[in-house]
Chain A
């Protein structure tokens, strides 16, 4: 492990895995159109499915900053796709914290990596921020914007100030479970092929 900063190659790796993770997120996001409860279940789906690219990504991390850069990129893309800027601090904070945790295990210790992935997955909750922080006006906006009252009621029953704590915890827990799933998948396919 060299003490120098990130190189162009590292940033390219970050870019690739960010693109993959965003594709996973958009794929899951499509399902959210069906029913508001599915929106709440992002906290389960995205950590589990996203863990496969993430665990492969973790095997490529050697230096501090890659996870942080990834979180910044995610924040930018969340903004561009209209999810709002409210979640950005949470996303980047989760990224830096996850980076620090993984660094303390030198990016090799699997327990630390699992913990770090759990923390990193908290970014998913940033999706819900507009719903919680601006609950009243957001609800009015949705109704004015033509969402049915039923959809709104369900959405706000599933996601509000009280359930956000539960959702954050779920993100974290499924992030850790996802780390094990992802690790198993990476082991099954990639170590055999000699890519890792």
Chain B
């Protein structure tokens, strides 16, 4: 099932809002978990099995530990630390999963034309698209830097914090600046930043599934707000 990028952005928006309010009652927990499951299921339908599975396991373990430890009451440093970790995971993972889903399944072209439809300034759109595209690149570049360091037998920079940062940051910056130059050359060759209005090969349309998803997420947000602050 392919959703419209605008629906996806709306999902991110709702999930981020829900993430900011903490769940206190079983009903709110249910809403929160349901909202987390939706992007995981969507990831599966888009055939990103590995990441869906990873998120599911991580979220499941964190939830189980959280509820398990909560009931016994947390004492001791290990329990408190573990609880802290689980809390943060449970709190923020929904937003991260949704963001991951959006980044992984949205083509940059679709994203740009969706932003254009919503009349977002071009500058913001271009920069946002670059940021989205760049996280995986940074990860790859970082992995190759680590490989290169291993090959030369440089481990951790001899325990010196400044060296540790320098050894990783500088090569990363070098490659990112170069990739950036290539990226802008490629983008400008293809007419980015021209005066003519951009057209898109894929026609964006809100389908039934999009409306359904939008309504479901609005309802989730409404339930959350009403039950937490009104009742």
A→B interface (CB under 8 Å): 6-9, 11-16, 18-20, 22-23, 33-34, 49, 52-53, 56, 65, 69-70, 72-73, 76-77, 79-82, 84, 130, 141-142, 144-148, 150-151, 185, 189-190, 193, 195
Q: Choose one: A12, A22, A130, A150; the contact of B183 (CB below 8 Å).
A: A12
Contact in complex: A8, B22 (CB < 8 Å): no
A-B contact count (CB 8 A): 142
CB<8 Å pairs between A and B, sample of 22: A8-B187, A9-B193, A12-B126, A12-B184, A15-B131, A15-B133, A15-B134, A18-B127, A19-B131, A19-B138, A23-B138, A73-B127, A80-B16, A145-B91, A146-B70, A146-B86, A148-B80, A150-B80, A185-B166, A185-B170, A190-B173, A195-B174
Classify the secondary structure of B's interface with A.
helix
Q: Given A8-B126, A81-B99, A148-B84, is A20 in contact with B184 using a C-beta cutoff of 8 Å?
A: no
Classify the secondary structure of A's interface with B.
helix
A131 to B224, CA, bound (A): 21
- Interface size of B by CB at 8 A reads 55
Q: Given A12-B184, A13-B184, is A22 in contact with B131 using a C-beta cutoff of 8 Å?
A: yes
A15 to B23, CA, bound (A): 34
A7 to B138, CA, bound (A): 24
- List of A residues within 8 angstroms of B193 by Cβ: 7-9, 11
Contact in complex: A18, B131 (CB < 8 Å): yes
Contact in complex: A33, B84 (CB < 8 Å): yes
Contact in complex: A33, B128 (CB < 8 Å): no
Contact in complex: B123, A77 (CB < 8 Å): no
B→A interface (CB under 8 Å): 12, 16, 19-24, 66, 69-70, 74, 80-81, 83-88, 91-92, 95-96, 99, 122-124, 126-131, 133-135, 138, 165-166, 169-170, 172-174, 176-177, 179-180, 183-184, 187-188, 192-193
Smallest CB separation, A140 vs chain B (Å): 9
- Not counting A16-B183, A19-B130, a sample of 10 additional A-B residue pairs whose C-beta atoms are within 8 angstroms of each other reads A9-B188, A11-B126, A15-B134, A18-B127, A34-B81, A69-B123, A69-B124, A142-B22, A147-B87, A148-B84
A189 to B177, CA, bound (A): 13
